[in-house]
Amino acid sequence: MNESLVRELVPAVIGVLVRRGADFAAAEDAVQEALIRALGAWPDDPPRDPKGWLVAVAWHKFLDAARAESSRRGRELAVDVEPPPGPAPATDDSLWLYFLCAHPSLPPGSAVALTLRAVGGLTTRQIAAAHLVPEATMAQRISRAKRRLAGLPLDRPGDLGTVLRVLYLVFNEGYSGDVDLAAEAVRLTRQLAAATGDPEVAGLLALMLLHHARRASRTGPGGRLVPLAEQDRSRWDTGLIAEGVAILQAALARDRLGEYQAQAAIAALHADAPSTGETDWVQIVEWYDELLGLADSPVVRLNRAVAVGEADGPRAGLAELSKLDPDLPRYLAVHAYLLERAGDLGRAAELYAEAARRAGSVPERDHLTREAARVRVLMGEL
């Protein structure tokens, strides 16, 4: 079965069922059952209209479940109406489903997990791996989210800010994960920007485009992680960079600064620099200061410490880093980098190795292991 086709069809089929009267959780369950049946039927007898096939099978699965529940409770099924024959309507419900998954009754973490499962088409195992939690834990989180939505009227979709957060996290999932959702997140954010005209939506779109422009240079052979300073900038997509910068400039001109616009401004300064050494680090620190006023977080402060280390020297960066929790993800790697730049190679090698042992992914672990070995070579130990 074509996995990309399935990921494209799932949100559309869920959307059809919800519009016909199914609640979100029941619709998602019915579509998953239809996909299981498709795995057995399609290889030998592929349908002419895959979407219509999935809609028909999922709808009947939903009706069967609803009838069973109705019989158990002694009630009649109110939605037992056979849909008209013919091809399924060619509507794109993906963005609408993002708003439903960002329902006000769901915390953002649950909204993201449910979106990745129902709209992104990721398996529970893939979502669990991306969030560094056991599969059983993620399955419970998704189940709780679906139960919370069950029976609720879907006339109170999530607010725009929550949807932006989910879109950005889904983009990051596709950008770094084993299933490509980045392009789909960009597509939906384009739709949202055109529909709302909101400068912060435009800021998110600009941020995505500027990050997406560097995608080809982020990994080397065998999935090897390539840090920004070592990336081949000739491989950056200049068309996407130009588009992202233009969108960002138009958003900033409206004088309604938001966190995504500030992040996009930082990304634009990186994209504009011919090399790491020629980057306008002073201005990047200023944008991080703006960002802290909009969305203060330990991660922002960690990134700011790196920028301060580049702008004002490694000792200044280490002073900023000392204000943060050492258990923060990437803290050890940043500490090692700043110590290396400050000349403390022995301690830097130790921290690179420790950071490798705590890494959350194989590419990150391998990269940090190589950094530890590189510093030891500089010290003459290898």
pLDDT value at residue 175? 60
CA–CA gap between residue 344 and residue 356 (Å, rounded): 18
pLDDT value at residue 184? 78
Q: Please report, for residues 14, 153, 177, 188, 193, the alpha-carbon distance to residue 181 in angstroms, rounded to integers and kept in the order given.
A: 18, 28, 9, 11, 18
Q: Enter the tokens of residue 55.
A: 């809609």
What long-range pairs does 145-149 form, CB within 8 A, spacing at least 24?
Answer: 145/106, 145/110, 145/111, 145/113, 145/114, 146/24, 146/25, 146/28, 146/29, 146/114, 147/25, 148/103, 148/105, 148/106, 148/110, 149/23, 149/24, 149/25, 149/100, 149/103, 149/105, 149/106, 149/114
Classified as helix, coil or strand, 28 is helix
Beta-carbon contacts of 361 under 8 Å, excluding residues fewer than 6 positions away, are 176
pLDDT value at residue 239? 95
How many Cα atoms within 13 Å fall on the side-chain side of residue 58? 33
pLDDT value at residue 132? 66
Average predicted confidence (pLDDT) for the chain = 84
Amino acid identity at 55: V
Burial string for 340-358 (b: 16+ CB within 10 Å, else e) reads: bbbebbeebbbbbbebbee
CA–CA gap between residue 309 and residue 207 (Å, rounded): 23
Largest distance between two CA atoms of the chain: 80
pLDDT value at residue 171? 86
pTM of the model: 0.74
Q: Cα 111 to the chain's mean position, in Å?
A: 12
pLDDT value at residue 86? 47
State the pLDDT confidence band at 79, using cuts at 50, 70 and 90.
very low
